[in-house]
Chains A and B, each alone.
Chain A
Amino acid sequence: MRRVLLWLPLVLFAALFGLVALGLFKPADRTVRSAMVDKPLPDFALPAMLPTKPGVARSSFGGGKPRLINIFASWCVPCIAEVPELAKLKAAGVPIDGVAINDTPEAIQAFLDRNGDPYQRIGNDKTSQLQIALGSSGVPETFLIDGRGRIVRQYVSNLQPDQVEDILKTWRGMR
């Protein structure tokens, strides 16, 4: 018994070492992902950000047609990089709803004028209520909602071309 006990610390250290080595050579994904993927979209209703577009509400989802929710802001630089990708999606017919975080109508209008407008609707989420309800941890993020109102996918940070392909494929498959 004593002999086992004597070698136990070495064994424990080896386990510790292995764990730490793993953490060093295979760094874990530090992104905080939403836990709402594959869950139904929560109930919400955001007022309109601009007079020219309607706000975003739960009621506009789940009618059989999949939609995208794009969380963005005028003060977010990667969002600017993302606009061409969103435009590609819009051109392919994917409806995109924008949710503006901590923003003002003037700034959003200026952003859209400068960079382009891929959105059908834009909701004003001044206090991150929807952002938190969706489990989003920053901007920009994109959520794909299927026809039944379930959150199917989350994309963190600005959309990359391969992610756009992924969205198009899934969206076409869902129709």
Chain B
Amino acid sequence: MIAEGGLAALWLAAVMAVLQLVLASSAVIGGRDEMARAVRPVAIAQGLLTGLAMLCLILVFVQSDMSVLLVAENSHSLKPMMYKIAGAWGNHEGSMLLWVTILGLAGGAVAIFERRLDQRTLNATIGAQALIAMGFYAFLLFASNPFARLFPSPPDGNGLNPLLQDPGLAFHPPTLYVGYVGISVAFSFAVGALVTREVGPAFARAMRPWVLGAWIFLTIGITAGSYWAYYELGWGGWWFWDPVENASLMPWLAATALLHSVSVLATRDGLRAWTIMLAVVAFSMSMIGTFLVRSGILTSVHAFAVDPKRGAFLLALLAIYIGGALVLFAARIGTVRQGNTFALVSREGALVVNNLLLSVILGIVLIGTLYPLAAAGWGVQLSVGKPFFDKTAGPIALLLVVFMAMGPLLRWRRDEPQALLKRMTWPVAAAGAALIILVSFASDAGLMPLAALVLAAGLAVASVAALWGRNLRRTPLFTWGMVVAHLGIAVSLAGMASDSAFTKETLAVLRQGETRAVGPYLVTMTGIRPVVGPNWSAVAADLSIRRGEGAAPFILSPQSRFFASPPTTTSESAIATRLDGQLYTVLGQPDGKGGWQVRLWWKPFVTLIWLGGALIGLGGVLSFFGRIRRRKRAVYDEYEEAMA
């Protein structure tokens, strides 16, 4: 019953979306204002109905209703409750329903909360949102029904892949989807603005919180995913330039550029065409990502099931939305008056360079990801990976860091190069000091990591320098947000460079009592023992670890785990986190003579990578609330004025 209820809710939501589009079109294009009044309630209703559908799906998983095909394929009655719930979106159909739910709820939220944008543009936006939603409803209802029944129903399900039985699954996909959907709302705003030709500060102010919100979630989602892969995979890597990873990075890059661009549009009424184009690009990237993961055209360990039919459907949707938006852009943007232009040396100038460099990096990642596919079409097999991206995107990213340091220190409208240089003295000094220290103590670090560390030091000081000379208590929250976010980039960059340059690795076969060194630590094998868990059994090695000869030892126990259903083995790394880095231990194979292979890494400052990511997200959150506060205060001030 619940499954049928969910399906009915989904159908109703689809009908609402059609209605929404019809009403919005007649209001905007036909000028029928009485239709406009109905648009908001319909959007809200649509959001609530999809929410209901998702709730039904989760309920069906929680109850382990094996007569529903999706539950039978992906769940098991003995799974812990958290994974029963998370398993609802841990598959293709469920995750698409989650996507559509967030889309519907976001559309409803736009209808409820957006009060200051002019009616026509808002209606056009809600109409565009409905159009996007319709495509996905069609996909769900006709090609990926999550509520399909299975008859006769099996006694129990296939279970969830043990690699996914990790809190990461509960957290990583939903945050990313909120990010992707938030970008689709920004896209709807952009389309709405193009339709009504109202590309100005008002539209930018309406769009900004959505871009910011989406970007925050993408940042958190990618950071969490990176850390999950790092501790789960057992080789110490945290980014692999896998096509699906790139598919999440590309929307983030576009969203970052869009975020900065929309701020310029909101405050300075400039970069109109850039902002619209970036919104379209960001949404294209998130749709391309969705497509890549589910179509099987790229080789990746991350990909969902291979189904060319579904891939074709998504490709068609992609063509309609992106193609349509680009046609609209080319046709309309010429009639939108060009916004303000700026002096080269100014905050706006730095933001233009920021847009440019981020777009170039985005282009490089896109081309690098798709090139093997293109080459395969010509019969050439090749691989593009880390070395390519390090050599091409790396230097451009470092150049971007330089501009990131300068940007917040520049004045709006126009600034003097000499004045800028004066404000840059401390950051440059910090960079210089870092250079001297590194060259003296770590000259074998490699050119790129060295440059990255030097620039990170400069950026860190430059980010904080934006606060100097200000009354800190009266500094707006969104300025704090900018400082913290840029500082986060510096911290993350330092972590990445440190991991590249200073990681120490020891591979050894240890017998009972044998000791090997890794970095500042001495690792002794004290024993091997069996361990039993709820749905797994394992072999654990007890490693006694001390930092230097006389120090107090602690124990790390990496495991090799065997799951019964489905039969898989996973390697559980054991990690010790200290202030100056992480000790990462993995258990390998036995050698048949009493010794066991262990892999040991000492990774100095590697945690900075994800700490930096968290800071970036925090900066975004501060900015978000800072803007809301400013808006509330503006509304309050307007009210006060009106009442006076």
Establish whether A and B are touching in the complex (CB under 8 Å). Answer: yes
Chain A positions near chain B (C-beta within 8 angstroms): 2-3, 6-7, 9-10, 13-14, 16-17, 19-30, 32-33
Q: Is the CB of A20 within 8 A of B326?
A: no
Contact of A19 among B280, B312, B333, B377 (CB under 8 A): B377
Answer whether A6 and B334 are a contact pair too, CB < 8 Å, given A25-B308, A27-B297: yes
Q: B interface, how many residues as a size bin?
A: 20 to 34
Answer whether A30 and B299 are a contact pair too, CB < 8 Å, given A6-B333, A9-B277: yes
Q: Return 28 A-B CB contacts under 8 Å, by A number.
A: A6-B330, A6-B333, A6-B334, A9-B280, A9-B326, A9-B329, A10-B326, A13-B323, A13-B326, A14-B323, A17-B315, A19-B370, A19-B373, A20-B288, A20-B315, A20-B370, A20-B373, A21-B315, A23-B297, A23-B373, A23-B376, A24-B297, A24-B312, A24-B315, A25-B308, A27-B296, A27-B297, A33-B381
Query: From residue B304, how far is it (CB to closest CB) to chain A in Å?
Result: 14
Answer whether A19 and B326 are a contact pair too, CB < 8 Å, given A6-B333, A32-B381: no
Max chain B C-beta neighbours (<10 A), residue from A22, A23, A29:
A23
Chain B positions near chain A (C-beta within 8 angstroms): 277, 280, 284, 288, 291, 295-299, 308, 311-312, 315, 318-319, 322-323, 326-327, 329-330, 333-334, 370, 373-374, 376-377, 381
**Which B residues lie within 8 Å of A28 (CB)?**
373, 376-377
Main SS at interface, chain B: helix
Answer whether A22 and B299 are a contact pair too, CB < 8 Å, given A7-B330, A9-B277: no
**Which B residues lie within 8 Å of A27 (CB)?**
296-297, 308
Query: From residue B5, how far is it (CB to closest CB) to chain A in Å?
Result: 35
Q: Is the CB of A24 within 8 A of B277?
A: no
Query: From residue A115, how far is it (CB to closest CB) to chain B in Å?
Result: 27
**Which A residues lie within 8 Å of B322 (CB)?**
13
Answer whether A24 and B295 are a contact pair too, CB < 8 Å, given A6-B333, A10-B326, A13-B326: yes
Closest residue of B by beta carbon distance from A31: B381
**Which A residues lie within 8 Å of B296 (CB)?**
27
**Which B residues lie within 8 Å of A17 (CB)?**
315, 318-319, 323
Bound Cα distance A25, B377 (Å): 11
Q: Please list the 6 inter-chain residue pairs (A to B) with the smallest Cβ-Cβ separation, ordered nearest first.
A: A28-B376, A10-B326, A23-B297, A6-B330, A23-B373, A7-B330
Max chain A C-beta neighbours (<10 A), residue from B277, B326, B329:
B326
Query: From residue B301, how far is it (CB to closest CB) to chain A in Å?
Result: 14
**Which B residues lie within 8 Å of A30 (CB)?**
299
Query: From residue B191, how far is it (CB to closest CB) to chain A in Å?
Result: 15
**Which B residues lie within 8 Å of A26 (CB)?**
377
Closest residue of A by beta carbon distance from B311: A24
Query: From residue A2, how far is it (CB to closest CB) to chain B in Å?
Result: 8
New contact pairs (10) apart from A6-B329, A20-B315, CB-CB < 8 Å: A2-B334, A6-B330, A7-B330, A9-B280, A10-B329, A13-B323, A19-B373, A23-B373, A23-B377, A25-B312
Bound Cα distance A29, B378 (Å): 11
Contact of A3 among B318, B319, B334, B381 (CB under 8 A): B334
Max chain B C-beta neighbours (<10 A), residue from A13, A27, A32:
A13
Query: From residue B313, how far is it (CB to closest CB) to chain A in Å?
Result: 11
Query: From residue B392, how far is it (CB to closest CB) to chain A in Å?
Result: 19
Bound Cα distance A22, B374 (Å): 9
Query: From residue A89, how far is it (CB to closest CB) to chain B in Å?
Result: 29
Answer whether A20 and B291 are a contact pair too, CB < 8 Å, given A9-B277, A27-B297, A28-B377: yes
Query: From residue A152, how far is it (CB to closest CB) to chain B in Å?
Result: 20
Bound Cα distance A146, B531 (Å): 56
Query: From residue A45, how far is it (CB to closest CB) to chain B in Å?
Result: 28
Closest residue of B by beta carbon distance from A23: B297
**Which A residues lie within 8 Å of B312 (CB)?**
24-25
**Which A residues lie within 8 Å of B291 (CB)?**
20
Closest residue of A by beta carbon distance from B312: A24
Query: From residue A5, how far is it (CB to closest CB) to chain B in Å?
Result: 9
Bound Cα distance A77, B280 (Å): 51
Query: From residue A119, how far is it (CB to closest CB) to chain B in Å?
Result: 29
Query: From residue A151, how far is it (CB to closest CB) to chain B in Å?
Result: 18
**Which B residues lie within 8 Å of A9 (CB)?**
277, 280, 326, 329-330
Query: From residue B320, how far is it (CB to closest CB) to chain A in Å?
Result: 11
Answer whether A19 and B295 are a contact pair too, CB < 8 Å, given A6-B333, A14-B323: no
**Which B residues lie within 8 Å of A6 (CB)?**
329-330, 333-334
Bound Cα distance A97, B329 (Å): 65
**Which B residues lie within 8 Å of A22 (CB)?**
377
Bound Cα distance A102, B377 (Å): 35
Query: From residue B314, how far is it (CB to closest CB) to chain A in Å?
Result: 10
Query: From residue B577, how far is it (CB to closest CB) to chain A in Å?
Result: 38
Bound Cα distance A124, B326 (Å): 61
Bound Cα distance A3, B333 (Å): 10
Bound Cα distance A44, B76 (Å): 53
Answer whether A16 and B370 are a contact pair too, CB < 8 Å, given A10-B330, A21-B315: yes
Closest residue of A by beta carbon distance from B331: A6
Query: From residue A106, how far is it (CB to closest CB) to chain B in Å?
Result: 16
Max chain A C-beta neighbours (<10 A), residue from B296, B334, B377:
B377
**Which B residues lie within 8 Å of A14 (CB)?**
323
Q: Is the CB of A20 within 8 A of B297?
A: yes
Q: Is the CB of A24 within 8 A of B319?
A: no
Query: From residue B568, how far is it (CB to closest CB) to chain A in Å?
Result: 19
Closest residue of A by beta carbon distance from B363: A12
**Which B residues lie within 8 Å of A32 (CB)?**
381
Closest residue of A by beta carbon distance from B373: A23
Query: From residue B89, how far is it (CB to closest CB) to chain A in Å?
Result: 25
Answer whether A10 and B377 are a contact pair too, CB < 8 Å, given A3-B334, A30-B299: no
Query: From residue B363, how far is it (CB to closest CB) to chain A in Å?
Result: 10
Closest residue of A by beta carbon distance from B378: A28
Closest residue of A by beta carbon distance from B295: A24
**Which B residues lie within 8 Å of A33 (CB)?**
381
Bound Cα distance A22, B312 (Å): 11
Closest residue of B by beta carbon distance from A30: B299
Bound Cα distance A30, B381 (Å): 9
Bound Cα distance A24, B306 (Å): 10
Bound Cα distance A24, B376 (Å): 12
**Which B residues lie within 8 Å of A3 (CB)?**
334
Closest residue of B by beta carbon distance from A21: B315
**Which A residues lie within 8 Å of B370 (CB)?**
16, 19-20
